[in-house]
Chain A
Amino acid sequence: MSSSQSPRPDGKLEMARARAGLYGLMSRVFSGKPTAALVKGMKETGMRESLASFEVPFDEEFLAGDDAEQAEELAIEYARLFLATGSHIAPYESVFVRGWAEDKPQLWGEATVEVTKFYQEAGLDLREGQIPDHLGIELEAMATMAECEAARRESGDKAGAAKLEELQRRFCEEHLMLWVPEFCEEVQLRAESGFYRSMAVLTASLVRLHCGEDSIID
């Protein structure tokens, strides 16, 4: 669609783009250690102001620090929080959500299979070697679907876009909502840096908003 055809755009294109950006960035944050470029980007004016609206402002100390040094500090924290160094939180859906036959948290559980099936249904082809229900991958799946939705909207494929919108809503409800808020609470409890606490709050808010637990008001 284009704005010339409709004097009052329904705003869905913009929303899809916003979701693609947010899910994409959160995916990046939880997929691996940060780089200096990422830290620098996080401090840019637009990002800083936006985060304030989610009530997760960065403190002054963070904003004033050296990007490269902070990236290194955060990389150590990333390893401690998520990379099996003894006191980490394994960022996988199947560790938090367990199927009918599973009473123990494990990698590649029944939840992982459900996620895999969802990707198949959505036409998302995951590269070999990735664990499908890693938080970073699930968020990236959302970003990809949102990106594709935006592309369909731009090309005027309303039906295709609606299908992708529905897929995002379902994935959020059937998967993200089941564990991401709980996971993010864990991160808030254990993170030493404001950065990961803020990112956890932001991610949980994003998922709640998307599932309609919180609202976006006009």
Chain B
Amino acid sequence: MQNITRRDFLKVGAASTAVLAIECQFGPIASAAERFIEGGRSVNRTSGLPRSFLPSTCMQCPAGCGNISYIEESRVVKIGGNPTHLSNQGSLCARGQAGINALYDPDRLLKPMKRAKGIRGNNDWIEISWEEAYDEIAKTMAAARSNPRDFVFLTDDLAQDDLGRRFTYAFGSPNAIGSTGVYDANKLVGTQLTWGKAGDMPDLAHSKYILVFGANPLESNPQFVGLARRFIDGIQKNQAKVVAFDIRLTNTSTRANETHYVNPGTYALLALSMANVIMQEGLYDAAFIEQWTNVSAAQLAQHLAQYTPERAEAETGVTALVIRRIATEFAATKPGTTISDAMLSNYANGVQNERAVMLLNIITGNIDTRGGLCMPVQYDLAEPSPAPPAPAPSLLSNPPELPFAFQQSVETTMQMIKDRKHSVNVLMTHGVNPVYSNPDMGLTEDVLMDQTLIPYHIAVTPYMNETAALADIILPETTFLEDWDIEVRPSPELVPYVSLKQSVVPAMESARSFFEITTQLAGMIMGGMEQYFAYKSVQGYLKARISDISGLNQAGGLDYLMQHGVWYDPKTRPNYGSFTAGGFATPSGKLEVYSQPLADRNFSALPTYEPIASFRELGNNEMVLSIFDTAIQTDAKTGNCMWLNEIQHDNPVWINPATAARLGIKDGDIVKLTRSHKSGEAKERSITSTAYLTEGIHEEVVAMANGNGRAESGSVAEGEPLTADEITEIEPRALQDPNMKLIWWKEKGTGIGINAKQIVPVSPDPIGGGQAWGDVVVTVAKA
């Protein structure tokens, strides 16, 4: 402590005033009076927010649940579920409630920043104004317009990023690329080929018999809470019998009447052998097969005959007795349905797995019936006019070697850019973190680091992350609680609905919405682009999006949505059996059990089991690696949420005790997983983590949760350093940062865990283009 003389104090005060005056003359700062006005009435943070609560749509995961933000004194103090929402019916998961953490994250980006100098990723940033940022980007992009097709836009879900797609097409590039390839592309392609629509919706609430193939609706599913509620309704209200097949004990399989471990990669064989039993025993729905599929029962029986329960027992590990019994029960108990998700189809034989499981519903007539496997139902939104035409496809947007991958696969994009098969002049990443979520993250990192491959990288994101860290310019985007959009998703109720995402509090500091960003940039790049971004306000744009939905517009349109958060036609009932009027949306109008497009490309045209060779000859210490999603973390959005990190902050390796005993591994030991070498591969890829011994995992499988082990996603996410170097570098911060003091798990366990995806090679299913996350064989050893 020091004392100071009055004279000195006055002197420094006068000197300060002088400096401030100089600065005011030249600098961009606002003088005090500009921000504060004496005698003003009040701090008006709440204008436009007359209520103390506002309904909106949650964006913490893809499900898009209806939420309600409770606002006191212009701050969100709690987020809960919207009871009138058709999908989640009032429930909201931990992620949704932790939206508060996302909005009020002390690590949020609130100023546009430009890379100052040196190489990408060195963390030297410099704040710039929005005007400077727009100016630089517009100039760079206008110059790049001579080769518009070299502009690449990466986003999370392209189906939801209409503005990003619009911006890319308006610029003249076809390369708007979504991340479906690392999520559930194989499932979408499998269903699309079979019934002409991508995806499905098992009517679990009304089913009497539910067969679970690797799915986990109580923890992870694209419709998460909505489907979880229907699953519970099915088993509680409807007394459905649930039989689960999985390689791991999940929250779902533990609530099944019976659960069977199945050998990794053999789901298709299991499903096809059950189908075989149903055909051989004459338990199939002959009339349905005859009328609504493009194969005859005899053809099908003949094809399936190879999949005997005995053969299946030898390969899947499920006994022939069980296979026969469950197949018989399933065929006899109507209505019944299967449920599957990306865990079934994230293999190199993923599309076949999906089609094999669908076949069980088809031969028993459980298609699009009450309690059966239904087609997804959702409203189509209008493309506000004028709409930019889609430019001709490119190698990136439609890779020729993946003809069925109708949603581009972000994991192959990076390899193609690296191999210089497609050049890039400007890359824009929006709300996506491929360095973290892609397989072989070293590859994505290498590409983004290389300025000869990616001359200019714009990251639009509310948070710093592993991908934004490798950008040249970062635009701080609003979070979902400060932004507007219309959200539609497949309805778990099978009645379509429209959900509104609206700003529940004003945008914080200088964060801006993607609508403002794209509109501003298009207006500055010009050259015809601006005509597609002529909407004065996001509300005007959204009104155009819902203009085709007459019932909603009669109810009050956007005003109705602002008040209620969601709209559906109260008179509408599920339209079961919609195919009976006009058939399926396939070339034949029928369920294409035999797929001519697959035959044309020399793939198996009938649902077929294609063994994964590497699984069959596992060495003594070799295991199959399974990376599973939890209800807590996601790839791009939840990394730095404090409450979520408190629940899931690390991801130990699940190992069966029998396997562990054989390998001499004890609970809590540090274990090393090394990806088994493919020929010609130079680098060894390995990770270490802590062993978690549990009977809840197949003996040939090791499993790790997704969502941990982040390097650049904020101080909470990075709670524990990974290497000795980082420990010395970060330790002072760990002691001083108020955030870090609260990370109680820091000293325990595996710290922040590790991203297991980094040792997974890029390997799409040749049909679906979806990443084969499940194909990886690793050597497991005590470290």
Please list the residues of chain A having a beta carbon within 8 angstroms of any beta carbon in chain B: 11, 14-15, 17-22, 24-28, 31-33, 35, 37-38, 40-42, 44, 46-47, 49-51, 53-55, 72, 75-76, 78-80, 83-90, 92, 95-96, 103-109, 112-113, 116-117, 119-120, 123-132, 134, 137, 140-141, 143-144, 147-148, 186, 189-190, 205, 208-209, 213-218
Please list the residues of chain B having a beta carbon within 8 angstroms of any beta carbon in chain A: 1-6, 8-20, 22-23, 25-29, 32-45, 47, 72-76, 100-101, 103-111, 113, 116-117, 123-127, 463-464, 469, 505-510, 642-643, 712, 714-715, 718, 730, 732-733, 736-739, 742
| B5 and A217 contacting across the interface, CB-CB below 8 Å | yes
- List, in ascending order, chain B residues with CB within 8 A of A140's CB: 32, 35-36
CA distance A95 to B239 in the complex (A): 50
CA distance A141 to B109 in the complex (A): 24
CA distance A37 to B126 in the complex (A): 17
| B10 and A15 contacting across the interface, CB-CB below 8 Å | yes
CA distance A79 to B17 in the complex (A): 25
| A129 and B29 contacting across the interface, CB-CB below 8 Å | no
The chain B residue sitting closest to A31, CB to CB, is B29
The chain A residue sitting closest to B462, CB to CB, is A84
- List, in ascending order, chain B residues with CB within 8 A of A208's CB: 1
**Which one of A22, A33, A46, A85 has the greatest number of beta carbons of chain B within 10 Å?**
A85
- List, in ascending order, chain B residues with CB within 8 A of A214's CB: 1-4
CA distance A76 to B368 in the complex (A): 59
CA distance A28 to B8 in the complex (A): 21
| B33 and A144 contacting across the interface, CB-CB below 8 Å | yes
- List, in ascending order, chain B residues with CB within 8 A of A87's CB: 123, 715, 730, 733
Shortest C-beta distance, B647 to chain A (Å), equals 14
- List, in ascending order, chain B residues with CB within 8 A of A26's CB: 16
Partner of B2 from the list A55, A104, A134 (CB cut-off 8 Å) is: A55
CA distance A186 to B734 in the complex (A): 12
| B508 and A131 contacting across the interface, CB-CB below 8 Å | yes
- List, in ascending order, chain A residues with CB within 8 A of B116's CB: 72, 75-76, 79
CA distance A89 to B739 in the complex (A): 10
Given A28-B29, A85-B464, A108-B75 in contact, is the A80-B19 Cβ separation under 8 Å? no
CA distance A85 to B110 in the complex (A): 11
| A126 and B507 contacting across the interface, CB-CB below 8 Å | no
| A216 and B4 contacting across the interface, CB-CB below 8 Å | yes
| A85 and B125 contacting across the interface, CB-CB below 8 Å | yes
Given A21-B16, A215-B3, 11 other A-B residues pairs in contact with their CB atoms under 8 A: A41-B19, A50-B12, A51-B12, A79-B125, A107-B103, A119-B36, A124-B37, A126-B43, A131-B508, A216-B4, A218-B6
CA distance A186 to B343 in the complex (A): 46
Partner of B22 from the list A40, A83, A119 (CB cut-off 8 Å) is: A40
Given A47-B19, A141-B36 in contact, is the A32-B14 Cβ separation under 8 Å? no
| B36 and A126 contacting across the interface, CB-CB below 8 Å | yes
Given A44-B18, A50-B15 in contact, is the A85-B27 Cβ separation under 8 Å? no
Which 8 residue pairs across A and B have the least CB separation, nearest first? A18-B13, A125-B40, A21-B17, A50-B12, A41-B19, A90-B106, A21-B16, A106-B104
- List, in ascending order, chain B residues with CB within 8 A of A124's CB: 36-38, 40, 43
CA distance A72 to B127 in the complex (A): 10
CA distance A137 to B110 in the complex (A): 15
CA distance A125 to B2 in the complex (A): 35
- List, in ascending order, chain B residues with CB within 8 A of A217's CB: 3-6
| A37 and B26 contacting across the interface, CB-CB below 8 Å | yes
| A127 and B35 contacting across the interface, CB-CB below 8 Å | yes
CA distance A159 to B326 in the complex (A): 88
CA distance A88 to B127 in the complex (A): 14
Shortest C-beta distance, A176 to chain B (Å), equals 16
CA distance A132 to B8 in the complex (A): 31
- List, in ascending order, chain A residues with CB within 8 A of B507's CB: 129
Given A21-B20, A124-B37, A189-B736 in contact, is the A107-B43 Cβ separation under 8 Å? no
Shortest C-beta distance, B479 to chain A (Å), equals 11
Shortest C-beta distance, B21 to chain A (Å), equals 8
| A106 and B106 contacting across the interface, CB-CB below 8 Å | yes
Shortest C-beta distance, A42 to chain B (Å), equals 6
- List, in ascending order, chain B residues with CB within 8 A of A218's CB: 5-6
| B464 and A86 contacting across the interface, CB-CB below 8 Å | yes
CA distance A140 to B29 in the complex (A): 12
| B733 and A107 contacting across the interface, CB-CB below 8 Å | no
CA distance A113 to B39 in the complex (A): 20
Shortest C-beta distance, B626 to chain A (Å), equals 31
CA distance A148 to B40 in the complex (A): 13
- List, in ascending order, chain B residues with CB within 8 A of A22's CB: 12-13, 16
| B742 and A83 contacting across the interface, CB-CB below 8 Å | no
Given A50-B15, A205-B2, A217-B6 in contact, is the A92-B106 Cβ separation under 8 Å? yes
| A33 and B126 contacting across the interface, CB-CB below 8 Å | yes
| A54 and B6 contacting across the interface, CB-CB below 8 Å | no
